[in-house]
Amino acid sequence: MLSFEEKKAIIESFDELVAKPISMNRFNYHYPGSQYDKKIVVEKLHPNGNGFVYVGDLLAYKADDRGLVNIRDFSEQQLRDVIEDSITYLTEVDDIVEEVTIEEAFRNRAGDQLLLTFDGSFWNVYHGFNLEESFGTRDDAEEYLLSEGFRKSK
């Protein structure tokens, strides 16, 4: 097991982290470059060697319900790896995918209207707020609408 001083030296070798002393001679290490509200990478590094690193929901680690993993028994390489993973996790922001809704109106001779929408997976036919049918392809949905006497509204 690494000593407190060894862990502290490893953690402080990451220039992007800022040490903040807290109670009982413990330290938190903040990552100001975080893209999230969460800024603390290493929490409560204690002189007895105990401490935690934030890993969120990374599958490579068994984190507690707050996203923290205990580093008490970590080797130097494990500690370096978990800190690098934490910094990467807090740096990367998933690209926001703009939701595009395709919606077209179809009418029959009686003036009834159905809407054809694409939800990203299926082509859905709605009568008002009620889902009438769902199709895997646009062609299948349009074929259904035409067979029921509906034409694309202009």
- Coil vs helix vs strand at 139: helix
* Residue, of 93 and 40, whose pLDDT is higher: 40
Average pLDDT of span 54-75: 93
The residue extents of the domains of the chain are 4-91, 102-152
Is pLDDT above 70 for 25? yes
The pLDDT assigned to 29 comes to 97
Is pLDDT above 70 for 5? yes
* Residue, of 58 and 81, whose pLDDT is higher: 81
pLDDT by residue (tens digit) across 80-137?
A: 999 999 999 999 876 555 555 668 899 999 989 999 998 778 899 998 889 999 999 9
The pLDDT assigned to 128 comes to 84
The pLDDT assigned to 32 comes to 95
Handedness of CA 47, 34, 74, 59 (dihedral sign): positive
Instruction: Give the count of alpha carbons within 13 A of 35, CB side only.
Output: 10
The pLDDT assigned to 74 comes to 95
The pLDDT assigned to 92 comes to 84
Which residues are CB-contacts of 153 (< 8 A; sequence separation ≥ 6)? 104, 105, 106, 107, 113
From the number of C-beta atoms within 10 Å of its C-beta (0-12, 13-18, 19+), residue 30 rates as middle
Quote the pTM value.
Answer: 0.61
Which residues are CB-contacts of 50 (< 8 A; sequence separation ≥ 6)? 44, 70, 71, 72
The pLDDT assigned to 99 comes to 55
Average pLDDT of span 150-154: 86
Largest CA distance in the chain: 82
Q: Pick from 62, 22, 69, 77: which is nearest to 46 by CA?
A: 22
Alpha-carbon distance of 24 to 38, in angstroms, equals 23
- Going by pLDDT thresholds of 50, 70 and 90, the confidence category of residue 3 is very high
